[in-house]
Structure 1
Amino acid sequence: MALDLVDYETKAHEAVKAFWGNREAARQKQIEAGKADQGERAGVTSGKNMDGFIALVIDIVHANGLAHAQIHQKRALLTLPGYFRPTKLWDLLVIHKGELVAAVELKSQVGPSFGNNFNNRTEEAIGTAHDLWTAYREDAFGEQPRPFVGWLMMVEDAPESRAPVRDASPHFPVFEEFKGASYLKRYDLLCQRLVKEQLYTSAALITSPRIAVSTGEFCEMSAMTGLKAFVSAFAGHVAAEASRLG
């Protein structure tokens, strides 16, 4: 059966426009209300920035044979058991006939604090996946095939995210590929290695400047971490599960 990628590029452009539009609307609303939570943090705390990408993921599920699957987006229904901790809250879950089909994280980062946020996102991504797969090994989800575990990241395309970054490692040298690498390059390497180490089925990175609020412009860092690789892998997994589960 041919996979349906649901015109993902067009929908991704719309999702990017919505991302920047939602951030700006949230920022203006809080400034007008005179609240302390202003500036960049206001855009982060609005909670709807990645909704366009969530809609894309849902469209892929519906178009590839699992139209009747349970797709959870509400916070109360997004928790999975962990192994190193009792539970973990995900951004989107797909469950069909009592089996976990997919668990997806959708994250974003906007400047100026790229350094601290990169380290936090890296630790979160690695820890989340390791916790889930250990819980899976211990039959936390029952006897079932491996679910699709996805990580999709959008990072602001800005001079600060593209600039070379120096690191201090006084005792042992950092890996050569990280030397002078920008934060965008580091995210690209992170996504590649999350997949190579089988922590995620697919990990995607897209970058976009703030002016894309009117165009939906975005770029990719590599084919391995591009959006097409992500949606193709996800659509293939959904189609396979639809065939198996009926």
Structure 2
Amino acid sequence: MTLDLADYEAQAREAVKLFWGNRKAALAKQTDAGNQDAGARGAVTAGKNLDGFVAMVQSLVEANELWDAEICVRKRSLVLPGFYRPTKEWDMLILRRGELVAALEFKSQVGPSFGNNFNNRSEEVMGSAHDMWTAYREGAFGEDTSRPFLGWLMLVEECDASTSPVKVSEPHFHVDPVFRGASYIERYDILCKRLVQEGLYNSAALLASPREAAADGQFRHLSELASLKTFVTEFAGHIAAVAAR
């Protein structure tokens, strides 16, 4: 397995800089065009702000010598069949000789509306995994195929709204104590860890990054299991194993 963690951390910092830079440029463009209601949504809908992470993953595939991999990043080639729904569009797919090697999602959340968005992201990521693994079990990706790698990378803005303790509602039953007083960023870390611990994802990474990271690409992780290092290591190991077959 070929892996230079320092190199991939540097690539991740460049991806973070690109993320914040693209958002800022998108908002400026819409403001110049006279769209006063664009707000944060304008930055989200203007383009693929997480393309830097897509490039990082692609470099991992190349570094681990999976030369005959088909790396899908264009919209029309990102669709896989589901079980509870006809299809699901992923952010990146990797195939080899007609076999699914990996399916990945790259998501982000920027304030101020962390509450509803956290719930929506949680339901989405859990549902997508359950749908995918059921479809895999039922042979949607071919018979007798190896289990693919399923990965989720989440970048969350680090700010007062995402790092402050959040109250929980307990009108009937007590919630898991781990959520009491947890901030939204901490809730995302718990989500990522449990997605992996419960076998829904091979790896799930959380990157906490402030807006000021547009200048230097700074980010941090809250736990080792949900870190970029673990994500990169697990993914590289899977790709190296496929390449060795």
Partner of residue 160, structure 2? 159
**One-letter code aligned to 1:11:** Q
The residue aligned with 2:228 is 227
In 2, Cα distance between the equivalents of 1:158 and 1:2? 35
**Contact 1:4–1:235, Cα closer than 8 Å, also in 2:** no
Q: Which runs of 5+ in 1 are unaligned?
A: none
Amino acid at match of 2:150: V
Q: Structure 2 stretches of 5 or more lacking a match? A: none
Tell me which residue corresponds to 1:114.
114
CA distance in 1, matches of 2:13, 2:214: 10
Report deviation, 1:34: 1.1
Match of 2:96 in 1: 96
> For residue 209 of structure 1, what is the aligned residue in structure 2?
210
CA distance in 1, matches of 2:221, 2:202: 18
Q: Distance in 1 between matches of 2:211 and 2:83?
A: 39
Partner of 1:30: 30
Give the equivalent residue in structure 1 for 2:66. Answer: 66
> CA–CA distance in 2 between the matches of 1:161 and 1:46?
23
TM-score, length-scaled by structure 2: 0.97
Match of 2:181 in 1: 180
Residues in 1 aligned to 2:189 and 2:128: alpha-carbon distance in whole angstroms: 18
* TM-score normalised per structure 1: 0.97
Counterpart CA distance in 1 for 2:137 and 2:227 is 29
Q: Match of 2:123?
A: 123
Cα displacement (A) at 1:68:
2.6
Aligned residue for 1:148?
149
Q: Residue in 2 aligned with 1:242?
A: 243
CA distance in 2, matches of 1:36, 1:199: 41
* Paired residue type of 1:208: S
Letter in 1 for 2:45: T
Letter in 2 for 1:174: V
| Cα distance between partner residues in 2 of 1:82 and 1:150 | 17
Aligned partner of 1:199: which letter? L
Q: Percent identity?
A: 59
